[in-house]
Amino acid sequence: MTTLREAAAKKGIFMGAAVNTGISRDATYKALAQKQYNLATAENACKWGATHPQQGKFDFSNCDEIRNFTLNEMKGTFRGHNLCWGSYNPGWLKSLSATAKKAALINHIQEMAKHYGSDAFAWDVVNEAVTDNGGAQDPLKNTDWYPDVPDYIDVAFTTARAAFPKNVKLFYNDYNILDKRTKSDRVYKLVKSMIDRKVPIDGVGLQAHIGGGYSDVAGVKVNMERFGALGLDVHITELDISYNSWSQSSETEQAKIYADLLQACLDTPACKSFETWGFTDKYTWKGTNKHPLPFDENFKPKAAVSSMISVLTGSPAPGPSPSPPSPSPTPPGPKRSYDRLTQTCLNAAAITGKLSVGSVSECETLCDKQTGCTSLDTDGSDCYLKSHCEGQTGQCSGWCGYRVKTLIV
Ligand code: G3I
């Protein structure tokens, strides 16, 4: 049977899941992540509590474990989570003065950047800054950072832009902002103001911890499109769909919600990554009894897996069918030719996970069809599409970068 990963690769979209350090202790869990996904995020291992347990003393071991698994074993794309969050921080941070907190924030981001460079193609630079109180005057919530460091969001993004290689994408990530509502309006204003003030930001992460019965897929699309219109990428970062009671009809409904959201992402050019928060009900912050993820607690695919594969491949799912897939979002552009580079592309930003091709020209054809693709890396078998490239033309062996040379209209 086609895997999520194979089906996603053909569409050029990241299909990801949060994983945790249990990968080293559960072979079935690890194998399933590798087989089904082309992107992974550390659920907890890259947060401050894990990486910066004492002031100025860093411990990258757990975050490294997930990074290494993703890049070397999954052979996928690593997504970083997170560099600044107002909750779950180590105790030492909470007791610092405002000035010392700001210095610690800058130091943390710089050290993370020094260690991880461009290993992660994107980082959630700031997580969950906006208030849930729709009536509040102040759009920002009180946290370990705010109001002590009033400009902490700008500081975090500006520091990250200076510290990370420029191909690393910088994201704002939050919950309850999946569709258009008061909180997502506030996030929209926040990121627009950042853009207007030239504070560097590349994208918005929509967490999507939702429950059974969710139906505002039209609002999700409108929401993603308005962020896209600002020139930002959108990632669905932490999707899970919880149920208080579970039955055949819940499973069918859940499969449809997963499929409809995936379809909305495929239909929105700005939406580049579709990721669930975990992938098996065995390990989920929601609790196994909420059944929120696409694979059950015994690692068996639930109806959500076939409904999502069906959306990706355009073939009907067995059982009640999800909404019909629409045509590929990106029509072929003008005919282009490519320069072969000395090595893989320098400072390129990946816009897809690994795609399987039969030749270099097949990879080039995929690039022709993908909005924003200006370069690619391929060995004629694996193919990664990229949005940017500073490589030099010349000879190479094995892996080569290829850069769009001429546009023949
Ligand atoms: O590993 C210890 C275990 O040894 C100990 O016995 C147990 C006792 O409570 O705690 C375990 O650690 C917990 C850890 O998850 C691993 O399960 C922490 O207490 C718990 O606080 C931690 O919760 C995580 C939470 O973020 C806080 O970091 C959740 O797993 C994780 O799913 C959740 O993820 C967040 C995203 O980062 C941001 N968006 C919301 C999302 C859900 O809350």
pLDDT score for 54:
98
The percent of residues above 90 in pLDDT, for the chain, comes to: 75
Query: Residue range 139-161: average pLDDT?
Result: 98
Whether 58 is in the pocket of ligand 1, judged by its Cβ within 6 Å, is: no
Mean pLDDT of 294-310: 98
Q: At what angle do helices 217-229 and 248-266 cross, to 10 degrees?
A: 20
State the average pLDDT over residues 143-153. Answer: 98
Residue 378's pLDDT is: 83
Rounded alpha-carbon distances, angstroms, from residue 267 to 15, 39, 144, 342: 15, 20, 38, 35
The model's confidence at residue 297, banded by pLDDT at 50, 70 and 90, is very high
Q: Mean per-residue pLDDT for 45-58? A: 98
Q: Is the pLDDT of residue 322 over 60?
A: no
Task: Write the CA distances from 340 to 43, 385, 389, 392, 405, integer angstroms.
Answer: 38, 14, 12, 8, 9
What would the mean pLDDT of 154-166 be, rounded to a whole number?
A: 98
Position 171 pLDDT exceeds 50: yes
Tell me if 372 sits within 8 A of 404, measured CB to CB: no
Atom of ligand 1 nearest to the CA of 49: 28
Could you tell me which residues are beta bridge partners of residue 371? none
Strands (E), 151-199: 169-174
Q: Could you give the CA distance from residue 354 to residue 381 in angstroms, rounded to a whole number?
A: 10
DSSP string, 308-353: HHHHHHTSPPSSS--SPPPPPSS---SEEEEEEBSSSPTT--B-S-
Question: pLDDT for 186-203, tens place per residue?
Answer: 999 999 999 999 999 999
Catalytic pick among 6, 43, 111, 238: 238
- 158-167, 223-232, 340-349, 379-388 — which is least confidently predicted? 340-349
Centre of ligand 1 to C-alpha 284, Å, is: 10
**Catalytic residue status for 362:** no
Q: Exactly one of 43, 65, 111, 128 is catalytic; which is it?
A: 128
Residue nearest to atom 34 of ligand 1 (CA): 43
Q: What is residue 397's predicted lDDT score, i.e. its pLDDT?
A: 62
- Mean per-residue pLDDT, 306-329: 67
Query: Hey, whose CA ends up nearest to atom 19 of ligand 1?
Result: 88
DSSP string, 230-247: TT-EEEEEEEEEE-SS--
| DSSP H or E segment with residue 408 | strand 400-408
Residue having the nearest C-alpha atom to atom 12 of ligand 1: 44
| Ordered alpha helix ranges (H), 37-97 | 48-51, 61-68, 91-94
Ligand 1 in reach of 43 Cβ (< 6 A):
yes
